[in-house]
Copies of this chain bind each other. A is one copy, B any other.
Amino acid sequence: MPKLDLDAIEQSNATGYPPEYAGAVKERWYRRLAPVGGLKDFGVSHVELKPGAWSSQRHWHEGEDEFVVMLSGEAMLVDDSGRTPMRAGDCAAFPKNDGNGHVLINESAESCTFIAVGRSADTDCHYPDIDMHLDAAKGRQVRKDGSDF
């Protein structure tokens, strides 16, 4: 049965961020759809941002494209070009290695939901605003000077 029973897939707010940067994504609740759906070519997440929650710290990946389509509610897309409201049906593309850090922030009083498509991060990820870096070789977040949290 190809249709996915979203309600039957547990939501998680787990993050690999260190405590000092984890607060922003504490109310980001996601479901991983690819494992349930049997997909291996790409990953798909169904994400709910409760009021105030961020989709991530603002970031860009060296080696993985990302795509987002909004399903409900409103989020503010923040990137180097400024602030762009995203509402149901709006789409955004984040090409790998473009150097343009991006994040969706729910600044509204209601939850918003979106679908995010991408692959597992096998390359370094850059966070322009904070002292954090995903070191793919180490497989974890470190400080920008390479030291551990």
Contact = CB atoms under 8 A, between A and B. Distances in A.
Contacts of A126: none
Interface string A8-34: 000000000000000000000000011
A149 B26 CA distance: 57
How big is the A interface, by class? 35 or more
A20 to B, nearest CB: 27
A113 B93 contact: no
Contacts of A137: none
Interface of A: 1-4, 6, 33-34, 36-42, 44, 46, 64-65, 67, 69, 71-72, 77, 79, 81, 84, 86, 88-96, 98, 100, 102, 113, 115, 117-119
